[in-house]
Structure 1
Amino acid sequence: MTALRIIAFGYAAALFIAASLNYLPIPGIIDENGNAFGVFALDLFDDSLHVASGLWALAAGLISHRASKIFLTWFGALYLADGAMGLVTGSGYLDFGIFVYGWYEYPSFLIKLAANVPHLFLGGFALFSAFMFDRK
């Protein structure tokens, strides 16, 4: 088992957890306004994206080191770009937010940053992992 396959399995777990946030009765996760952690709302588009990405990560981890590298590279690029777009426009493209909601104004830049940090971190770490933890 290579490091990239283990990381792909970690992404699968994280993405499945993200997809389940709206459905787990854990106090403090979803507030009275339906926002996760009081920052962003997760809808059916988000949940579908997270489940599909989690299945992709799981399949890559099960298949091979090469499949895991491909997953981490593409997933990383897509999610990092989505997070960057979210910082600029307030909406991402992976969950169709830019098409459904258009440009979205958050109450403050800190809230906008907090809403996009998950995709920036997941995408950035995936790309970093794909190249830094690849066996030579």
Structure 2
Amino acid sequence: MTNLQKLCMGYFVALMIAASLNYIPGLADENGLAFGIFALDIYDDALHVASAFWALIAGLWSHRAARTFLILFGLAYLGDGVFGFFTGYGYLDLGIFTNNSAGMDLSLGRVLANLPHLALGGVAAWAGLRDARRTT
């Protein structure tokens, strides 16, 4: 198993943990915010589970599948995190279609709410694109 395939396995675990946050007692406050920062709904959970299984399948399948997952997933999640700064909502969970834009905000709360997608997406895209550049 290559390093990219192992990274996909890590993404599988991380995304399954993200999908389970709503179901662990004590992690959400009285307003339903996980860690008091962001709200997760059924669409977020479905997105995280689908992404997790994509990571698992890619990681088990091949190095090339892992690289493709990391690039596509990385760019999608990174873009979703950046988009969250401009609107307060992402596009992956269809939040931009179900909510009015909250406008651009670089407050600590908005940064922390978007940081998971920025970090997961940035690392994945970097790893996949770095490997793609090495093999061409």
Cα deviation for residue 105 of structure 1 reads 5.5
Residue 84 (structure 2) aligns with: 86
Residue 13 (structure 1) aligns with: 13
Cα RMSD, aligned residues only: 1.7
Pair 1:79–1:107, CA change in 2 (3 A): closer
Mapping for residues 1-136 of structure 1, pairs under 5 Å: 1-25=1-25, 27=26, 29-104=27-102, 109-133=107-131, 136=135
Identify unmatched segments of 5+ residues in structure 1. Answer: none
Q: Runs ≥4 in structure 1, deviation > 4 angstroms? A: 105-108, 133-136
Cα deviation for residue 133 of structure 1 reads 4.9
Query: 2:129 and 2:99 mapped to 1: Cα distance?
Result: 35
Pick which of 124-133 and 51-60 moved more: 124-133
Identify unmatched segments of 5+ residues in structure 2. Answer: none
Q: Can you list the C-alpha shifts for 1:62-108, whole angstroms capped at 9, x where unaligned?
A: 10000000000000000000000001111110001110112125987
Pair 1:77–1:108, CA change in 2 (3 A): closer
Aligned residues: 134
Is contact 1:3–1:133 with CA below 8 Å preserved after alignment? no
Indicate the percent of aligned positions where both proteins have the same amino acid: 54
Query: 2:78 and 2:24 mapped to 1: Cα distance?
Result: 27
